[in-house]
Chain A
């Protein structure tokens, strides 16, 4: 079955770059997503990448995809204290199949 893994915790200083990593097992994954969850809040879609792309940039966010190694990363440039949250990687097959979420990475940004 599908499995998505992430490191549990990342701590950075304000202004540094953060890199959150994710690995997945389903080779038929078509789309890969990053969601952000602030404490007590819902799941906010940050960005997503199609499996035939290597990279996608959206303002401070850069997504890198290594399809061969089934590895996805999210880089946040100039990390701010407001970026402190849990970041979930998720993968999805074709059509309208369900999202499968990773375990989530808790990002803590200190001043």
Chain B
């Protein structure tokens, strides 16, 4: 069964550094999402993306965050200058063309900012 893949599985970075989290959505999916989960807390929406532009973003998704689909397969989340509070698990998701198509999530990237 096709799946969403995310790399790396764990990223450690120093405060102030830029990080790029990578995702390969399911190949025929058109809608893409990033979520994050701070340890022990709920899963929070960051941003949705369709047709090469942001569809919706949350208050968390400030100017330090950006998303890009640089080619036909990858979907990336960039954090320009990481803060300690950015430490979390970041999940990518994609969904297909039907309105009832559920979101399929990757296994996540654990980001640790030191």
Q: Which A residues have a C-beta under 8 Å from some C-beta of B? A: 31, 33, 35, 41-45, 48, 50, 88, 90, 94-104
Contact = CB atoms under 8 A, between A and B. Distances in A.
B60 interface: no
28 contacts: A31-B100, A31-B102, A35-B105, A42-B105, A42-B106, A42-B107, A42-B108, A43-B43, A43-B91, A43-B105, A45-B102, A45-B105, A50-B100, A88-B42, A94-B99, A96-B31, A96-B50, A96-B99, A97-B48, A98-B48, A99-B33, A99-B45, A101-B42, A101-B43, A101-B44, A103-B42, A104-B42, A104-B43
Nearest to B44: A101
- 9 closest A-B pairs by beta carbon, nearest first, are A42-B107, A43-B105, A101-B43, A98-B45, A96-B31, A103-B42, A42-B108, A42-B105, A45-B102
A98 B33 contact: yes
Given A42-B106, A43-B91, A101-B43, 16 more contacts: A35-B105, A41-B107, A42-B105, A43-B93, A45-B104, A48-B102, A95-B99, A96-B31, A96-B48, A96-B95, A96-B99, A98-B56, A99-B45, A100-B45, A101-B35, A103-B42
Interface of B: 31, 33, 35, 42-45, 48, 50, 55-56, 91, 93, 95, 99-100, 102-108
A45 B4 CA distance: 12
Nearest to A45: B102
Contacts of B107: 41-42
Contacts of B48: 96-98
Nearest to A43: B105
Nearest to B55: A96
Given A42-B91, A42-B108, A103-B42, A97 B100 contact: no
